[in-house]
Structure 1
Amino acid sequence: MARYSFNLPDIGEGIAEAEIVRWHVAVGDWVAEDSPVADLMTDKATVEMETPVAGRVLEIAGQEGDVIAIGTALVVLETESEQAGPVAAPTPAPTPAPAPASKPAADPVAEQQPTAPLASPAPAPARSDPPTGTRILASPAVRDRARTLGIDLAQVRPAAGDRVRHADLDAFLTYTPGYSAPAGVPADETVPVIGLRRRIAEAMSASKRHIPHFTLVDEADVTALEEARAQLNSGPADRPRLTLLPLLIAATCRALADHRALNAHYDDEGGSVTRHGAVHMGVATATPAGLIVPVVRDAQGQTLWQLAGEITRLSAAARDGTAARAELSGSTFTISSLGPLGGIAATPVINRPEVAILAPGRIVERPAFVADGLGGERVAKRKFVSLSLSCDHRVVDGQDAALFLQALRALLETPARLLAG
């Protein structure tokens, strides 16, 4: 028998440390060669670390949420090999980490986290030969959900490829005879704020700490727009189905062209504002791990159906953790929409270093006075959507915000202008 120290390798790009966000093993477990032992998150990516040798786990480097330095022993294994010493693992290929909704481009971590010492070894339980079987591929979010539901991932058959996804867990719950999720009143639990959740917390805090927010709320009559959307969706079946969001993005891009002060980045250190010509639209997306912002590049140049297809693609990639790193950064303006779940109004937090964010509410129907065509008015049922706009008061004045919302509302209320291109 020999002891192998599997040290955290150089992940690249000048990374000096990483946070442990998920352990796949515990002291006493047997792990096969190339099996995952832990997920670690840097400020740019989540990396699944795999042991290059087989063995029994003797020691692990701290708890979930601890930050460890490159070169630190991640796990110490007892192996059957006679050769001992540290193992140099190849640099893993990072899985893109979802960018939090208010993650700044260069926001330093407020506190340096200490390097965690190795946990004291525990007696290894009696165990026979190493387990056999193929490795199950799944994102950390899927693994966490399966663990919560008490589902053995080995029993789940992926619908496509060899990676288990959330849809596969849903299908397992629906079609597995006799299976039911754990019932009863759950016990109280303390959930550590680690990984993406910690980065969201840091980014939100930094945004509120550095940016003097103000929020202006208006509403638009989208009755005609909804009628136009229904007509557009009755077209060719090969086109993506349009929700309100692609129309909102198209209208926002048009309005931003005349109000570039809101399509900008503010440089805290340099004391300057960069007003962007292109609109790289951030679309806040809820995922099992938290809120992230995939980016629709050059949204101002895309058709409604291109926008709809890109929104669908990016949202799916964000939720299952396959979005590329470049697709999760670089937005110049963000829309945060909850669709039918949206409320009457909101006070969205700016996605720093941007200077504005729009949060449309849900569509509501109510009576309103409308022209009767005879010079008078009549009461009719109309559809309205609220438009909540938060701005950085250091560089955006109330008049700027009001003029932008007026322009946006005019486009939404006159679909002919919007659809004319």
Structure 2
Amino acid sequence: MKTFAFRLPDIGEGVAEAEITGWYVKPGDWVEEDQTLVDVMTDKATIDMTSPVTGTVLAVHGEPGDKVAVGSVLVELEIEGEAPEESAHKNPNEAPPEAAKAELEDVVAEPSVPEEANGQPEVILASPATRRRAEDLEIDLADVMGTGPEGRITDADLDAYLKDRAPKPIARERHGVREVRIIGLRRRIAEKMETSARRIPHFSYVEDCDMTALEGLRREINAARQGAQPKLTLLPFFMRALAQLLPEFPHINARYDDEAGVLHQHEAIHIGIATQTADGLVVPVVRHVEALDIWDCAREMSRVTNAAREGAALREELSGSTITLTSLGALGGVAATPVINHPEVAIIGPNKLMGRPVVINNHVTIRTMMNLSSSFDHRIVDGYDAAKFIQRFKRLLENPALIFIEPRTWT
């Protein structure tokens, strides 16, 4: 038997270190070649590290949240035969075979108690989702009887465990404190927000918009759509309105390099779409909106946001935006003060639609209204310019036919 040290390989693109975000193995585990050992995150992507050999895990090095340098030993394995050369390591960007990946995701087995004298730990079988739920509920899986195949613990078993031990409805004081280490994508989000808040002097501007005509048009178009035409939300209309408007405000469709003191004004319109994922907020980008029609905007927005939610977005799909749209849809609230996506200089945040009484020609009527929240970098955008920009944007939204007309015919 030989000992093989699996080291963090050179990932390329000048990456000198990576952050450990999750382990899939532990000492004593038997692993097959191409089985995922650990997830690491660089400044550019999250990468699955797979084993180039088959063997038994002797030791793992590092905890989630630790940063390790290229060349550092991550896992020591006991293998049969000669250890392969380091150059034979598998490409860290290659995905594990589908069968192995499915098996890995389906059931996670790990010891529930220290090893006994015979060296064999008791094994608990449960899917990752069931295991996460048990952790959230603070249930020790060793106390739960599994009724699935080979004693596998299911969600139904957790429900039965909770039912049997349900406490009487007595109000009690709570004193527990749970410490959660901020790592991975959540750490990167925190750093990004801190950078934006520290380096950009924000000011916000909120205006209400009468969305009755646009919402009616959207519903009519959706009712008449054909074939592969996607269902339209409001965001593709906002994207097309920005494509009409931003050429008049080049200093808003821009990225500011404050260290060099240079504002990069872009002719291309690359709109970031703030997207909530299971791991946190990311901003996939719809590129060249100026060249897309309303259907193209909807299709491309759906493609990049779905890829982001599934963790499949490419690096270039998560960077390079020139302005960002952020919307919580029905949860959008009355108003917000969105944080600018550094190094951009503006962000637009539509809020939820609401029926409100509005006075028109001295008569009160119910209209579909929406507040439009926005934030600007005050180093680049003056209050007057921001107000002018939002008022022009409001005009497009309240008169949606203008969105589909060349700007020179109506300005």
Shorter chain as denominator, the TM-score bin is: 0.7 to 0.9
**Alpha-carbon separation, structure 2, partners of 1:144 and 1:252:** 43
Match of 1:418 in 2: 403
Give 1:76 deviation, angstroms: 0.6
Corresponding residue to 1:378 among 363, 381, 389: 363
CA separation of 1:179 and 1:363: change in aligned 2, threshold 3 A: farther
Match of 1:321 in 2: 311
**Alpha-carbon separation, structure 1, partners of 2:83 and 2:68:** 26
Equivalent AA in structure 2 for residue 233 of structure 1: N
- The runs of at least 4 aligned residues of structure 1 exceeding 6 Å deviation read 84-87, 179-182, 184-187
Give 1:250 deviation, angstroms: 1.2
Match of 1:68 in 2: 68
Corresponding residue to 1:344 among 331, 334, 343: 334
Match of 1:258 in 2: 248
Match of 2:30 in 1: 30
Corresponding residue to 2:292 among 302, 307, 320: 302
Q: What pairs with 1:144-293 in structure 2 (closer than 5 Å)? A: 145=129, 147-149=131-133, 178=156, 189-238=178-227, 239-293=229-283
Match of 1:401 in 2: 386
Could you say which structure has the higher helix fraction? 2
Q: Which ranges in structure 2 are unaligned for 5 or more consecutive residues?
A: 96-113, 136-153, 168-173, 407-411
**Alpha-carbon separation, structure 2, partners of 1:180 and 1:420:** 58
TM-score, reference length from structure 2: 0.80
> Contact 2:51/2:90 (CA < 8 Å) preserved in 1?
no
Instruction: Give the greater-gyration-radius structure (CA).
Output: 2
Give 1:180 deviation, angstroms: 6.5
**Alpha-carbon separation, structure 2, partners of 1:262 and 1:94:** 40
Give 1:127 deviation, angstroms: 6.2
TM-score, reference length from structure 1: 0.78
CA separation of 1:278 and 1:86: change in aligned 2, threshold 3 A: closer
The count of aligned residue pairs is 353
**Alpha-carbon separation, structure 1, partners of 2:82 and 2:287:** 54
> Contact 1:7/1:89 (CA < 8 Å) preserved in 2?
no
Match of 2:4 in 1: 4
1:28 is paired with a residue of what secondary structure? coil
**Alpha-carbon separation, structure 2, partners of 1:145 and 1:391:** 41
> Contact 1:362/1:386 (CA < 8 Å) preserved in 2?
yes
Q: For the aligned residues, what is the CA RMSD?
A: 2.7
CA separation of 1:127 and 1:258: change in aligned 2, threshold 3 A: farther
1:310 is paired with a residue of what secondary structure? helix
> Contact 1:6/1:87 (CA < 8 Å) preserved in 2?
no
> Contact 1:5/1:87 (CA < 8 Å) preserved in 2?
no
> What is the percent sequence identity of the aligned residues?
47
**Alpha-carbon separation, structure 2, partners of 1:279 and 1:261:** 12
2:77 is paired with a residue of what secondary structure? strand
